Structure 1
Amino acid sequence: MVTSSAARTALDLTADLPLPVLEDFYRDLHRHPELSLQEHRTAGRLAERLTGAGFETACGIGGTGVAGVLRNGAGPVVLLRADMDALPVQEETGLPYASGTPGVMHACGHDLHVTWLAGAAEALAAGRDAWSGTLLVVGQPAEETGRGAAGMVADGLYERFPAPDVLLAQHVAPGPVGLYPHSPGLLMSASTDVDIVVHGLGGHGSRPETTVDPVVTAAYLVTRLQTVLSREIAARESAVLTVGRIEAGTRHNIIPSTARIALNLRTQSAEVRERMLAAIRRIASGECLAAGCPREPEVTVGDNFPVTVNDAETDRRVAAVHTDVFGPGTVFDPGPAMGSEDFPHLVPAGVPYSYWFVTSTPAAVWDAAPGTDLMEKFQAVPSNHSPRFAPDLSTVAPGVRTLVSGALAYLTE
């Protein structure tokens, strides 16, 4: 039984969603993916819908960001956010609306996020007699690089638009359709990219004694880096170190002068992150010294994402409304994930936020996946960033309702 006024109002406002229109909008976005800070078409499509719904809209914030505001009397300012960028992935879904851009795909579901945001904005605008306050919607670029949210803020987002009292966002995820995971606290990990350049002494492959081979040194370095987690980080801590790329050389018989290694760290505390970075620098220096490299390695810290930590009270409040809308058993706490988000960069200091997930695996795919319980199947189905990731279209309506009901948890007070 629906008991809260926010849930009742959300169900009323989303009872007659124009699903064929929203689904066509989603298919169109999926066919036309755009990489980070190239989301011109996507931003234009979103801005068109916001303007049509009565929002004061601006484009080009932080490069390709979009924001729209709907002022509707006294009350809090609620921000709803969706990210817009695609990934350099060649699609393998076989969908009739698959990407038409070679090597680029919405493999993380940001096209669905934009669809949800557009649908929620239109539903709330049409039902403005039922709530009071200010609704700020944000289409954010470049989430995948970790630069989009900070770029919009630096470009004056909150000088052009009212600063929010609460921020809400969500992400599509694998799992059987109909679940809405919430964690009232630590939700996602920090991510840090690290680049290492090993400097050797190049030469002919037939005379290795006249060289210092950076490839061999890089191989030792990669192996030794695996001990950072196994021997330097306490077992109670959660962390991941991934070597995502090694590059060196041009031909079979040439010993190159340099080798490049790209790392990614996932951490859930600043202390562990700093300890890992210190270990990486020490190990890189030590291996190069042992190999007789002519100079110190270059260790550069690159893009980074912050930890995502929900305000507990805010998240419980939104989760309660979601439970009221979708029913018992649909909302649960999955615990922290090792994935990362740049959404916290959008959050003004001290302002609470809630971020949650919407599961999306088609029933046929989920049922065919090996395993007997939720986690076994979860590991087996295509996940975000997979070339086979294809959310079920049946998630369009629930994803709109989660945003609408979350906003109304504050706008109907």
Structure 2
Amino acid sequence: MKKLSSIMVALLMCSLTFAQQALWGGAPVVSPEIHDDNTVTFRLKAPKAVKVQLTGDFLPTQKITTPMGEFDGPGFADLKEGKEGVWEFTTSTPLQPELYSYSFIVDGLRMMDPSNVYAIRDVATVTNVFIIGGERADLYKVNKVPHGTVRRMWYNSPTLDMDRRLTVYTPAGYETSGKRYPVFYLLHGAGGDEEAWINLGRTSQILDNLIAQGKAQPMIVVMTNGNAWQEAAAGESPKGFVAPSMRPEERAKAPEGGFELSFPEIVKFVDKNFRTLANKKNRAIAGLSMGSFHSCNISKLYPDMFNYVGLFSGASAKNDKSTSPVYADFEGKLKVQFDKKPALYFIACGKTDFVMKGVTDFRKLLDEKGYKYEYLETDGGHIWKNWRIYLTEFAPKLF
């Protein structure tokens, strides 16, 4: 009987082995492989391919023209075919610490790296990701520190006449501390949604690490959906698995300034459902690109709501054609806001960002009026690398 049991176990192990080989297609291809010197090798098994390329934000940039303007896009590199149809490319120089994204292009067709299960969606583009650790990039990693909690929640917006979804980060210990916390409202850019900052921006990792290091105060971070026509991120609403897009025809359906006008509903919901310090002194708002535009307008529309304001790669400007109360009397609202002396007004932009002119013009106005602000200028353009940097610089200045 004992001998029979041993034979059965051996047969079972053989079956599992064959099953695993069938499932994974034999020996795996390692990609990306990060070497000790921080050079990286990418591999793809494609024996029938004619041409395989790599595109990623660590390669030399190229100019891309869009309806929103010209900006720096990811570059391209050719892979060389080796044994058994495995194509390979190794970076010529070590990569600096950062979170990087990439994908392959096989005979003109963009595809994911089948050897890398880690990916992030940005609007309708999905790319693989990897991290080169060290320096600031260590803030983007999950380290052995106390971790906060991330919730997806729904609230009702009478102004927009729908239930809407948002993402909320609460710091480590929130559930048991009994304390009240300041709140930081963090807004995404055009094409983004309530998933953008938590995924692409690495918000929870950054806050966990900054708080653990004593560089930032424990705070609640609320990441909203700034698309006034949208209930939630693509695939997360009753509309089902719709394709993510900018959808200009849907944007046109939203009331002008609707998101800004409805923002107090978000603040009310958060103050009701979380232990917050519900006053101006303990509230901050910041955003990237479109979220910067929203943050600028919301903070001056409600000058008694936020004491800290961050504008990442964008700002607002006069709009004499608008009939919305949000955009009327631009300079008048700005004066009221600065007369109330916000604790911090922070502006940041990349040197080659296509919004730089607008940011420069806005700064010129602030300088002419004598309004105090802090300014940070970085290399690069309208990219998540910069927005993660700005978050790591802005959060420690709060509260």
Which interval holds the TM-score relative to the shorter structure? under 0.3
TM-score, length-scaled by structure 1: 0.23
The TM-score with structure 2 as length reference comes to 0.24
Which has a greater percent of helix?
A: 1
